[in-house]
Amino acid sequence: MKFSAQHYAVNQAADCLIVGIFEEKNLSQSAVEINKISDNYLLHLVESGELSGKLGQTTLLRNVPNLAAERLLVVGCGKRGELNERQFKQLMQKTAQTLKETQAKSAVSFLTEIPLNQRTLYWNIRFAIETIEQDLYQFTQFKSQKTAEKSTALSEVIFNVGADELASAEQAIQHASAIALGVRLAKDVANCPPNVCNPAYLADKALNLAETSPLIKTTIVNEAEMEKLGMGAYLAVSRGAHNEAKLAIMEYRNAPNPNAKPIVLVGKGLTFDAGGISLKPAADMDEMKYDMCGAASVYGVMNALAQLQLPLNVIGVMAGCENLPDGNAYRPGDILTTMNGLTVEVLNTDAEGRLVLCDTLTYVERFDPELVIDIATLTGACVVALGQHNSGLVSTHDDIAAALEQAAQQSADKAWRLPLSEEYQEQLKSNFADLANIGGRWGGAITAGAFLANFTKKYPWAHLDIAGTAWLQGANKGATGRPVSLLVQFLLNQVK
């Protein structure tokens, strides 16, 4: 989809105009103008009850008197002055769905004049684009019939803005397009089945990205190298799998000072998590192909970065691995030696994410990071605690936590901080090793974070548990691309 910003007049020719009306017979400014040139056409429809202004009501009108545009799409925006970002996204989604069903090739949106609570025009346009792209997404790679069910004639949306708003509108378009690209690519790798998307597949994606982006350099660490580095925890998880583990490192360097310390993003990349010897139940086990959504989000962010060319140094890491039962698989009771020397007693082989991540978090010390954020579908307990709307945030550093909370709030890609105090470490005590890999029944999302905190002492660190937010279940099963939007916003905020 092509997006642009332009100043438009309601009586200009167009395939389709989109205007908003509010409840209580309250027209938006452009709707008032259209009503005037069409001899009260809109108000008649309002009076007759045809147009209610109810949130998300979409009505497609043709042959509106004296209007040069072929179509007029009237969108209900609820009560004037009461629109929050969630409702705005809902009405944008309805708008996109209705537009798709028309034959309009392009549309001019006057919804830019609908005020969003506490938000500027920049956010109106950003959320509009992110929502439209989200709605248009489909994953047809593995359908034999590629003719998309949702195919559409629409290829261009023009946002109407005033001359003084053009600069911020264009910035919103640029940011939103990069985020939408990142989200789409993250969804594509995440939705890919585990017999195709394995650790080598993730590594190939990282290598391909470096080929198309001169600012990115990719290196792959394979199992032989992990052996030399002493990554005993990571390797133990991979032992039950035939596909080799691959740690993919994408280095994006574009800071004015090339030696500036990098921001490091580490994604859990379990391309399938069967639980290992502590085998998971069969129900919904297919969804454990999504156990690489942390890695997928890092991949999406690196693509967005390459497009935006932000003046930062950022290193994206995908920790690719499979967790499967096998005669050679690691066992409950095994004691592993991690890369930083701490020993871990395995009490459940299904708590594998923290084992892959702990060695990766030690590995990234070599980059002397300014800060490290890991992103992981780490615990079912996080979904129990927060549900599917907020990602869990755990951090030893209040300032990073606050910056992530701010980015989450701005991007409407929500996150909620969980406490991480000393006491939780006690749940990880082992009689036989330095640490146990599980912390018992209570506070599982936090004890998982507490486990990781033992491996992040050399740099400021935060952890995002996306187990509840990375994909949807049921009829709309599919990856969400979260938290690409949150992370790109965090990086945008880092640019001084």
Give me the active site residues, please.
Answer: 280, 354
- The span of 139-147, 257-265, 348-356, 431-439 binding Zn ion (CB under 5 A) equals 348-356
Give the residue with the Cβ less far from Mn ion, 251 or 291: 291
- The span of 120-128, 285-293, 303-311, 325-333 binding Zn ion (CB under 5 A) equals 285-293
298 binds, among ligand BES, Mn ion, Zn ion, none (CB under 5 to 8 A by kind): none
- The span of 61-69, 169-177, 271-279, 293-301 binding Zn ion (CB under 5 A) equals 271-279
CB of 309 to ligand BES, least distance (A): 34
Residue 244 burial class via C-beta count within 10 angstroms: exposed 0-12, middle 13-18, buried 19 and up: middle
Q: Two tokens at 392?
A: 């869990």
18 binds, among Mn ion, Zn ion, ligand BES, none (CB under 5 to 8 A by kind): none
Give the residue with the Cβ less far from ligand BES, 76 or 353: 353
Give the residue with the Cβ less far from Mn ion, 18 or 241: 241
* Binder among 269, 353, 449, 468 for Zn ion (CB under 5 A): 353
DSSP code of residue 102: S
Task: For residue 350, state whether it binds Mn ion (rule: CB under 5 A).
Answer: yes
CB of 330 to Zn ion, least distance (A): 14
Q: From CA 104, how far away is CA 101, in angstroms rounded?
A: 9
> Which residues within the stretch 464-493 sit at the binding site for Zn ion (CB under 5 A)?
none
Q: From CA 290, how far away is CA 22, in angstroms rounded?
A: 40
Q: From CA 465, how far away is CA 392, in angstroms rounded?
A: 5
Q: What angle in degrees, to the nearest 10, is found between the helix axes of 484-494 and 166-191?
A: 140
The amino acid that residue 285 corresponds to is M
Chain position whose Cβ is nearest to Mn ion: 350
Q: Is 413 annotated as contributing to ligand binding? A: no
What is the secondary structure of 252-312 as a DSSP string?
Answer: EE--SSTTSPPEEEEEEEEEEE--TTSPPPSTTGGGGGGGGHHHHHHHHHHHHHHHHT-SS
**Chain positions contacting ligand BES, by CB under 6 A:** 273, 291, 348, 350-353, 377-381, 383, 438, 444, 467
Give the residue with the Cβ less far from Zn ion, 241 or 270: 270
Q: Is 359 annotated as contributing to ligand binding? A: no
3-state class (DSSP) for residue 132: helix
3-state class (DSSP) for residue 8: coil
74 binds, among ligand BES, Zn ion, Mn ion, none (CB under 5 to 8 A by kind): none
User: What is the distance between the terminal CA atoms of the chain, rounded to a whole angstrom?
Assistant: 30
Q: From CA 73, how far away is CA 95, in angstroms rounded?
A: 8
Match 């921001």 to its residue by tokens: 263
Q: How far is CA 435 from the centre of its chain?
A: 32
| C-alpha closest to that of 106 among 30, 228, 7, 15 | 15
Task: For residue 273, state whether it binds Mn ion (rule: CB under 5 A).
Answer: yes
* Binder among 133, 291, 359, 374 for Zn ion (CB under 5 A): 291
380 binds, among Zn ion, Mn ion, ligand BES, none (CB under 5 to 8 A by kind): ligand BES
Q: Where are the beta strands (DSSP E) in 100-238?
A: 106-109, 156-160, 216-221
The amino acid that residue 349 corresponds to is T
Give the residue with the Cβ less far from ligand BES, 203 or 351: 351
Give the residue with the Cβ less far from ligand BES, 135 or 350: 350
Q: Bridge-partner residues for 3, per DSSP?
A: 157
Element (H, E) at 428: none
CB of 173 to Zn ion, least distance (A): 37
* Binder among 15, 85, 133, 273 for Zn ion (CB under 5 A): 273
Q: Is 352 annotated as contributing to ligand binding? A: yes
Residues that bind Mn ion (CB under 5 A): 273, 350, 352
Question: Which positions lie near Zn ion, rule CB under 5 A?
Answer: 270, 273, 291, 353
Binding site members for Mn(2+): 268, 273, 291, 350, 352
> Which residues belong to the annotated binding site?
268, 273, 291, 350, 352
